[in-house]
Amino acid sequence: MLRKIYFIFVLLLCLTVSSVSFADEQSARQVVEEFQNELLAVMKDGKALGFKGRYDKLDGAVRKSHDLPKIARIVVGKQWEELSADQQVRLEKAISQLSISAYAHNFKDFSGETFTFISEEETGRGGVVMHTNLHIPGEKDVKFDYMMKKKDDGWRIINIIADGVSDLALKRSEYTSVLSRDGFDALIAKITEKIDNYAAQ
């Protein structure tokens, strides 16, 4: 009898933990909207924060919402497997810093911008695309499409398409060319130069 009661208790405990984990998991839309809210908050204080302040504020938000390791692998395509373990770590770090720096540079002041959710679209292999618009007062809306994949710890952004232009495709075209032609150190130098340019502007 005691054994049966113990079994039921364990089963209920497992179901409770499972339901709590499910409830706590964010949807793809929630991940995107939370990240966009972080962007707007940083933009509102952008001038006072300066580049470093914006970078520090966005660091956690970008790492939480983006699958930066996957982005680093996609950027160099098949050449990822040819890199040593140390080079893979260095590239992932550089791509992460570049991504955060780009946001800190491009979203640096506020003039009444708002994000609007448009729709959600399922893609092949379990992915989704979140269609949103960035409304800029007095200007044409900018369409942001967030391509997302689900990891063990939730949904993550793996690419952003702004007005039909894929950020990942641009990076891959440029960086695979540099890696093939000039080598790994030249690629890291190229990425570092971009980061420095973002910080200086």
Residue 201 or 76, more confident = 76
Q: Is residue 21 part of a domain?
A: no
Q: Is residue 53 part of a domain?
A: yes
Instruction: Give me the chain's average pLDDT, please.
Output: 89
Q: Is residue 155 part of a domain?
A: yes
Q: Where are the alpha helices (DSSP H) in 45-109?
A: 46-65, 68-76, 85-106
Q: What is the pLDDT of residue 199?
A: 96
Q: Is residue 13 part of a domain?
A: no
The Cα angle at residue 199 between residues 179 and 88, in degrees rounded to 5: 30
E strand or H helix that includes residue 10: helix 2-24
pTM: 0.86
Would you say 91 and 187 are in contact if contact means Cβ atoms under 8 Å apart? yes
Full domain range(s) for residue 110: 28-200
Residue from 24, 35, 6 nearest 130 by CA: 35
The pLDDT confidence band at residue 4, using thresholds 50, 70 and 90, is: very low
Contacts of 91 (CB under 8 A, 6+ apart): 72, 75, 76, 83, 184, 187, 188
Residue from 96, 9, 88, 94 nearest 59 by CA: 96
Q: Is residue 10 part of a domain?
A: no
Residue from 99, 142, 137, 98 nearest 118 by CA: 142
Strands 128-135 and 142-151, by their bridges, are antiparallel
Would you say 77 and 172 are in contact if contact means Cβ atoms under 8 Å apart? yes
Q: Is residue 1 part of a domain?
A: no
Residue 196 or 11, more confident = 196
E strand or H helix that includes residue 130: strand 128-135
Helix axis angle for 167-182 and 184-200, nearest 10°, is 130
Q: What is the pLDDT of residue 20?
A: 35
Q: Is residue 124 part of a domain?
A: yes
Q: What is the pLDDT of residues 135-187, one digit of tens each?
A: 999 999 999 999 999 988 899 999 999 999 999 999 999 999 999 999 999 99
CATH code where residue 167 lies: 3.10.450.710
Contacts of 168 (CB under 8 A, 6+ apart): 71, 74, 75, 158, 159, 160
Domain count, the chain: 1
Q: What is the pLDDT of residue 24?
A: 60
First to last CA, the chain: 72
Answer yes or no: is pLDDT of 124 > 90. no
Q: Is residue 188 part of a domain?
A: yes
Q: What is the pLDDT of residues 42-89, one digit of tens each?
A: 999 999 999 999 999 999 999 999 999 999 999 999 999 999 999 999
